[in-house]
């Protein structure tokens, strides 16, 4: 049976250092921490989680709140990638993941009571409707909590730089000669206003008047809802040469509907997405989009939640991460 002494010997450090790494105590360098964790994985070390939980009065379980829908949750590439990285970090620190459906009928929608009943050490709100009473109650509770794209400031939240991402995407269209740009804003997420602001800022900086008729609002995140977004686009009373969809799912679903209406993406109409999920590179033409750093989002969310569980200070408010432009072939240059 592998012990912390075997890991210490493998790493050339003391057993106390190994113990501090697993218990997230003491001042251990990031290099040494990774070295210990990699050695533990290589040797097949299995900690006695049950004993540790009894001593530290913890369950070693954290919840992940997910909106369960025909098009959301783990079916959406972005949320799946974030969760995968979050899970990997938490499991390295011997925490198990419990998925919590936002529907929660069996608990009457009282997520706070549900989390307390499960004795969860913390919660990651990954994909949920923040304007519901049950979610607001959970965020206002005393359970350590980190959220993705939350509108509330009292608990730590992590998101991409949506203003900058939308602004850069709009600038790319303008650089390719587009001025009549339709922006489709999602009604399902709290960061929509940041993206709209980025779109408007790019137009203003290039002397292009903002036109309310070219700002459309719709639900999204799925192929069916993407068709609804394209219906709104085709009914737009103003001419357009480019359209910015709120996510990659919706943008890719538009390929089919635009083709049926006589458009050819990348030839007589330009299309962009947002998220940078992998399948955007699998369609033809490849989608031009903004890639959110799902790996860093998942890692940062896990690190913040671990610190909260350990009683370490983590400031409330938003942590915003860079998101980069991914160039495909879905944007054409106007003559």
Q: Could you tell me if residue 329 is inside a domain?
A: no
* pLDDT the model gives residue 236: 93
Task: Say if residue 206 is in the same domain as residue 309.
Answer: no
- Res. 25: pLDDT tops 80: no
How many domains, the chain? 3
Mean pLDDT across 50-55: 45
Q: What is the pLDDT of residue 105?
A: 47
**Domain extent at residue 189:** 162-292
Q: Calculate mean pLDDT across residues 52-60.
A: 61
Domain boundary among 277, 292, 307: 292
Residue with the bigger pLDDT between 167 and 10: it is 167
For residue range 117-136, what is the model confidence (pLDDT) as tens digits?
889 999 999 988 888 888 89
Together in a domain, 240 and 253: yes
The reply to whether 219 and 110 lie within a common domain is: no
**Which tokens in the block code for residue 45?**
């070390």
Evaluate whether residue 335 is within a structural domain: no
The whole-number average pLDDT for the span 303-314 is 93
Q: State pTM to two decimals.
A: 0.79
What confidence score (pLDDT) does residue 48 get? 56
Q: For residue 222, give the DSSP letter.
A: S
Instruction: Report yes or no: 94 and 22 within 8 Å, Cβ to Cβ.
Output: yes
Which pLDDT score is estimated for 16? 86
Flag whether pLDDT at 222 surpasses 80. Answer: no
Would you state the pLDDT for residue 54? 41
179 part of a folded domain:
yes
187 and 263 assigned to the same domain: yes
Q: Which of 67-81, 194-208, 225-239, 313-327 has the lowest mean pLDDT?
A: 67-81
Domain CATH for 38: 1.10.260.40
> Average of pLDDT values for 295-308?
96
In a domain, 302, yes or no: yes
Does residue 104 lie in a domain region?
yes
**Within a domain: 270:** yes
**218 and 253: one domain?**
yes
> What are 253-296's pLDDT values in tens digits?
899 999 999 999 999 999 999 999 876 677 899 999 999 999 99
49 pLDDT more than 60: no
Percent of the chain at pLDDT > 90 equals 53
Lowest mean pLDDT among 89-93, 100-104, 159-163: 100-104
Please report, rounded to a whole number, the percentage of residues in the chain having pLDDT higher than 70.
88
Residue 327 lies in a domain: no
Q: Decide which of 93 and 224 is more confident.
A: 93
Sheet of 181-186, strands arranged across: 215-218, 181-186, 242-244, 270-272
Query: What pLDDT shows up at residue 221?
Result: 54
Query: Do both 64 and 137 map to the same domain?
Result: yes
Examine the domain organization and report whether 128 and 247 are in the same domain: no
Q: Taking residues 93-121, what's their average pLDDT? A: 79
Question: Within this chain, do residues 104 and 245 fall inside the same structural domain, yes or no?
Answer: no
Q: What is the 3-state secondary structure (H, E, C) of the chain?
A: CCCHHHHHHHHCCCHHHHHHHHHCCCCCCHHHHHHHHHHHHHHCCCCCHHHHHHHHCCCCEEEEEECCCCCCHHHCHHHHHHHHHHHHHHHHCCCEEEEEECCCHHHCCCHHHHHHHCCCCEEEEEECCCCCHHHHHHHHCCCCEEEECCCCCCCEEEEECHHHHHHHHHHHHHHCCCCCEEEEEECCCCCHHHHHHHHHHHHHHCCCCCCHHHEEEECCCCHHHHHHHHHHHHCCCCCCCEEECCCHHHHHHHHHHHHHCCCCECCCEEEECCECCHHHHCCCCCCEEEEECHHHHHHHHHHHHHHHHCCCCCCCEEEEECEEEECCCCCCCCC
pLDDT at 51: 45
Give the CATH number for residue 100: 3.40.50.2300
- Residue 313 sits in the same domain as residue 280: no
For the segment 104-110, the average pLDDT, to the nearest whole number, is 57
**What is the structure's pLDDT at 3?**
84
pLDDT value of position 103: 59
Q: Are residues 261 and 226 in the same domain?
A: yes
pLDDT confidence of residue 332: 97
- pLDDT score at 294: 95
Q: Are residues 136 and 252 in the same domain?
A: no
88 with 151, same domain?
Answer: yes
**pLDDT for res 281:** 76
Q: Is residue 328 part of a domain?
A: no
The two tokens of residue 328 are 């495909």
* Lowest pLDDT segment from 104-108, 253-257, 298-302, 325-329: 104-108
């Amino acid at each position: 049976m592998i012990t912390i002494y075997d890991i210490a010997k493998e790493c050339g450090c003391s057993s106390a250092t190994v113990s501090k790494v697993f218990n997230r105590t003491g001042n251990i360098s990031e290099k040494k921490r990774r070295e210990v964790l990699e050695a533990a994985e290589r040797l097949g070390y299995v900690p006695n989680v049950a004993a540790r939980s009894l001593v530290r009065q913890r369950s070693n379980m954290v919840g992940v709140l997910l909106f369960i829908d025909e098009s959301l949750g783990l079916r959406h590439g972005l949320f799946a990638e974030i969760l995968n990285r979050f899970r990997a970090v938490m499991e390295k620190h011997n925490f198990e993941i419990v998925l919590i459906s936002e529907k929660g009928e069996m608990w009457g929608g009282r997520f706070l009571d549900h989390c307390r009943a499960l004795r969860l050490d913390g919660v990651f709100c990954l994909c949920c409707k923040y304007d519901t009473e049950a979610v607001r109650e959970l965020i206002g509770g005393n359970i350590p909590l980190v959220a993705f794209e939350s509108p509330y400031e009292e608990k730590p939240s992590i998101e991409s730089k949506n203003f900058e991402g939308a602004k850069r995407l709009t600038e790319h269209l303008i650089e390719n000669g587009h001025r009549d740009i339709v922006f489709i804003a999602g009604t399902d997420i709290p960061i929509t206003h940041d993206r709209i602001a980025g779109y408007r800022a790019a137009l203003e900086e290039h002397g292009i008047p903002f036109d309310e008729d070219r700002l459309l609002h719709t639900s999204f995140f799925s192929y069916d809802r993407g068709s609804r977004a394209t219906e709104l686009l085709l009914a737009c009373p103003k001419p357009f040469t480019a359209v910015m969809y709120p996510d990659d799912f919706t943008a890719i679903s538009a390929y089919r509907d635009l083709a049926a209406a006589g458009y050819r993406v990348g030839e007589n109409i330009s299309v962009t997405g947002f998220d940078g999920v992998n399948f955007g590179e699998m369609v033809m033409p490849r989608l031009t989009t903004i890639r959110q750093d799902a790996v860093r989002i998942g890692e940062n969310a896990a690190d913040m939640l671990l610190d909260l569980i350990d009683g370490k200070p983590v400031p409330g408010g938003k942590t915003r991460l860079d998101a980069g432009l991914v160039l495909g072939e879905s944007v054409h240059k106007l003559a």
